[in-house]
A and B are shown apart, each in its own frame.
Chain A
Amino acid sequence: MKTKGEIVFFAVCVAFFGFMGAQAVALMGEGRAGEIGSALWPLISLCAALGLSAVLLIQAVRRPAAAPVGGEASEPDARDEARRRRKAVFASTACFFLYLVAISFLGFILATLLFIPAFAIALGERRTKVLVAAPLILTTVMTAVFIKFLTIPFPKGVGVFAAFSRLFY
């Protein structure tokens, strides 16, 4: 069954591989006898990927559209459910991205302490005990294993956050 998302996905694939293929053509140059240069292998991969994406795009476009399950009456429910799912994925992904950015500014420990409850709430967690205890326990374990024992040099953060991080590593 056709979905708009699938068409967009394979269209993006076609565009991406086409663009990279153009970059690969620019790599082509002269070489010695028997030397195939740096462009051939990427070109083979990209042309094959481009061809396959195009075929899949055409297949996706030609496929009949999906009928809503349960008929028209369930369409608002299905839309609400889809919206809820998108919101959960977006919220959790945004939390994770902000965590990755925050590590450089707040340091690993503070960023992790904030990330865990934020991510849990994004997933739908509402139990207070979990939201309070888990960040402390998990951050302590991670700090002990990776920073103290394995001495992985995580970013300490900037300014006052760096001073806080230096208390631990």
Chain B
Amino acid sequence: MLEIYGQAFATVLLPQNLIAMVLGALWGLLAGALPGISTSMGVVLILSFTYTLAPMTAFVLLVGAYLGGITGGGITSILFGIPGEPSSVPTVIEGHALAKQGKAAAAMWTYLLCSIFGGLFSVLFMIVATPLIADFALRFGPAEYFALTILGLSVVSGLSGGSMLKGFLSCFFGLFLATIGTDGITGEERFTFGTVTLLGGVNFVVAMVGLLAVSEIMIEAEEPFKEYKGMVEYRGLLEELPRFSLFRKYWLTMIRSPIIGTIVGALPGAGATIAAFLAYGEAARTAKHEPAKFGKGAIEGLMAAECANNASTGGSMTILLSLGIPGSNTTAMLVAAFMIHGMQPGPLLLSQRPDIVYGIFTAMIVINLLLLAITGTAIRLFLQLNRLPYSVFSAAILILCVVGAFGINNSVDDMMLMFVFSLIGYFMRKFGVPVAPCILALVLGDLAELSLRRALLLSGGSPLGLVSSPISAVLLLGALVSIVYPLIKKPRMLGSS
């Protein structure tokens, strides 16, 4: 085994593969950072360049873009409050709040170190436990998926701030938004009012950008004029690097979050978003140190979300390589890459092309380290953006949001929809209704509904089918505890603050 990994490292560290990993990581960072250009789109855009490359070079380029994309979402999330990916929403909530408190450098370093830790953890987990993860993922049917999405939605209790009523209102609004468009089972049009724009449903990127980023600019427009966003002093690497004591303080979160990320990432269709929100919600619910800070710049929340976010990549790749099932949109693109090079991911790949499988494992380790070096070097540069005049900074953010909304379907209608969501987000924030639960519900709502309906179809309409397996029963019980426990702990959270 050691010999195999030694050979894999030697292959991965060849000059052409190293260059491919660096370029892929850089491209992925850019794609992940920009809203509207998702990680999966970033991978698709460079897929055509891999036709003429050697298989190993092609895969490390694409995996570099994948890992870079997941990591890159945190940059604009923290600095500008624009989530590059849905999985970056918890990062926006906590990381951007920290940046507004003048702790942008600390937030950036924490996000980066936790991202890399999560990524490396999941690769090592992957190397050791691929058969176990694969076997567990195969046990998930519609009932289990429904239970998982309900568990994911139950973290609303942790995202609600002072009022669970408002948090759940936001959540149910998001669930309703997810139903707009064409029904996935019957094909019936729901709440489209005859418009073509809404036929495909509400795109979560459009909603995300409008509800979070644009509405934030509108809220900030109320404040007295400021010339600059805020000078961020960078005191040097040794001063800004988070102390080891910080990670020791939150050791439970640092262990739990990557495990959640790896396992949830292994579930096809679940991916980084559920992983990030689940880990974030768990951290919020079980926080011992400064639980009141969640939603206002809790470093523990940022750590949990970023660890899980990046750890999901290992889980997704495990399922792809061992079973041939893509765990996320991006790994679905990687299936295409395999087919381009005449390979089929799945159980036979390990025996037919072990060099490729082990090469990808080792490449993921190297890419995570490269991302640490690249992003770490660039943090100081990113922070210089705060020196821009505030009015120009805000205009630039709005233009990025417009690009993000337009770039999904090249549609002007999406830009207008984003504007509508920005107004909704503005009023939600004005009256204390949290926006994050709405986005979470919008992302998970479709999967929850389809899983519920499929589970009921399989059980002939009997709701007992939803709790028939131990996995779904445990997950639903966890969701119930997640919702009820904060109410017992703090009954006043039921009110509206």
State yes or no: do A and B come from one complex. yes
**From residue A163, how far is it (CB to closest CB) to chain B in Å?**
20
Contacts of B229-252 to chain A: CB distance below 8 A:
none
Given known contacts A89-B221, A125-B389, A37 and B176 CB-to-CB distance under 8 angstroms: no
Question: Which of A36, A104, A127 lies at the interface centre, i.e. has the most chain B CB atoms within 10 A of its CB?
Answer: A36
**From residue B221, how far is it (CB to closest CB) to chain A in Å?**
4
Contacts of A46-67 to chain B: CB distance below 8 A:
46, 48-49, 52-53, 55-56, 59-60
- Contact indicator per residue, chain B 393-409, by CB within 8 Å of chain A (1) or not (0): 01110110011001100
Q: Is A78 an interface residue (CB 8 A)?
A: no
Task: Sort chain B's interface into a size bin.
Answer: 35 or more
Bound CA–CA A85/B168 (angstroms): 30
Which of B84-92, B132-140, B182-190 makes up part of the contact surface?
B182-190
Residues of B near A97 (CB, < 8 A) are 419
Bound CA–CA A162/B400 (angstroms): 22
Bound CA–CA A37/B186 (angstroms): 7
Question: Which of A17, A97, A138, A146 lies at the interface centre, i.e. has the most chain B CB atoms within 10 A of its CB?
Answer: A146
Bound CA–CA A23/B194 (angstroms): 13
Check B222 against A33 for contact (C-beta < 8 Å).
no
Check B427 against A48 for contact (C-beta < 8 Å).
no
Residues of B near A130 (CB, < 8 A) are 389, 391-392
The DSSP consensus for interface residues of chain B is helix
Check B225 against A33 for contact (C-beta < 8 Å).
no
Bound CA–CA A124/B462 (angstroms): 61
**Which residues of B does A touch, CB under 8 Å?**
37, 165-166, 168-169, 172-173, 175-176, 179, 183, 185-186, 188, 190-191, 214, 217-218, 221-222, 225, 227, 389-392, 394-396, 398-399, 402-403, 406-407, 410, 412, 415-416, 419, 422-423, 426-427, 430-431, 445, 449, 452-453, 456-457, 459-462, 495-496
Q: Which of B169, B214, B407, B430 contacts A13 (CB 8 A)?
A: B169
**From residue A135, how far is it (CB to closest CB) to chain B in Å?**
8
Residues of B near A119 (CB, < 8 A) are 391, 394-395, 398
Question: Which of B168, B221, B403, B407 lies at the interface centre, i.e. has the most chain A CB atoms within 10 A of its CB?
Answer: B221
Residues of A near B402 (CB, < 8 A) are 99-100, 103
Bound CA–CA A154/B415 (angstroms): 12
Residues of B near A72 (CB, < 8 A) are none
Nearest 6 interchain pairs by C-beta: A34-B461, A124-B225, A120-B391, A125-B391, A45-B175, A49-B172
Q: Is A155 an interface residue (CB 8 A)?
A: yes
Q: Is A35 an interface residue (CB 8 A)?
A: yes
